């Protein structure tokens, strides 16, 4: 059986959102599974001495323009949220919990949370909003709410982020498959070729 595609993402990343829309299609095309890895980029940025693109002078203005252009080019609906970027601890913890407790609904949950933020301007740093999304998808929102503040789920997200950093992840989306790493949605064409040919 072919190795799965490891897809690392931060819910505050527009390019991660674009990747989340498309990664399933690529995986299906090439007969692969996707391992979805919610992480926090903040600790990784701190470790390597950088910051979110939109907060970097000059790069920030360019990246905001590029996000809209990229969405239009790929025909992905996108609206830059009013509050951007945001902390995504709640959303990432929730995604980890859903992956463990209701795995059949995890991918839909991840995509719906992403879409809520980047198409409807719903603040996913607010627990009530994330819980409402979970409930709408038939996920036990009460159990999720109880889990969000536990040390166990906090530690799991911390561990997931540390594991990603050790794997060389430094942005979102970040894909690792068959030992090859691809950073950014703009590398999905190369990823497609690599999955087709086993090399580039």
Q: Mind listing the pLDDT tens digit for each residue in 82-116?
A: 999 999 999 999 999 999 999 999 999 999 999 99
Domain spanning 5-197 has what CATH number? 3.40.30.10
Considering the candidates 13, 52, 125, 149, report the single residue annotated as catalytic: 13
- Bridge-based pairing of strands 34-38 and 5-9 is parallel
The model's pTM: 0.96
Question: Could you tell me the CA-to-CA distances from 147 to 69, 81, 140, 181 in Å, in that order?
Answer: 38, 27, 11, 33
My answer on whether omega of the bond before 173 falls inside 30° of 0, hence cis, is: yes
Evaluate whether 24 touches 186 at the Cβ level (below 8 Å): no
Residues 6+ apart with CB under 8 A from 104: none
Instruction: Tell me phi and psi for residue 181, to 5 degrees.
Output: -105, 140
8 bridge partner residues = 37, 174
Q: Which two tokens stand for residue 25?
A: 């299609």
**Res. 199 pLDDT band, cuts 50 70 90:** confident
Per-residue tokens: 149: 């503040």
2 counts as catalytic: no
| pLDDT > 90: percent of the chain | 92
């Amino acid at each position: 059986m072919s190795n799965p595609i490891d897809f690392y993402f931060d819910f505050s990343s527009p390019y991660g959102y674009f990747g989340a829309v498309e990664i399933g299609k690529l995986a299906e095309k090439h007969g692969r599974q996707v391992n979805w890895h919610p992480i926090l980029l903040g600790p990784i940025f701190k470790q390597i001495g950088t910051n979110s693109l939109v907060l970097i002078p000059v790069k920030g203005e360019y990246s905001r323009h590029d996000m809209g252009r990229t969405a239009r080019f790929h025909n992905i609906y996108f609206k830059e949220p009013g509050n951007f970027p945001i902390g995504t601890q709640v959303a990432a913890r929730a995604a980890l919990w859903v992956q463990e407790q209701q795995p059949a609904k995890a991918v839909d949950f991840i995509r719906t949370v992403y879409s809520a933020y980047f198409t409807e301007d719903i603040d996913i740093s607010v627990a009530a909003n994330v819980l409402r999304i979970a409930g709408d998808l038939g996920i036990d929102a009460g159990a999720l709410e109880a889990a969000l503040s536990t040390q166990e789920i906090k530690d799991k997200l911390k561990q997931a982020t540390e594991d990603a950093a050790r794997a060389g992840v430094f942005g979102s989306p970040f894909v690792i498959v068959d030992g090859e790493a691809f950073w950014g949605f703009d590398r999905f064409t190369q990823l497609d070729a690599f999955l087709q040919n086993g090399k580039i």
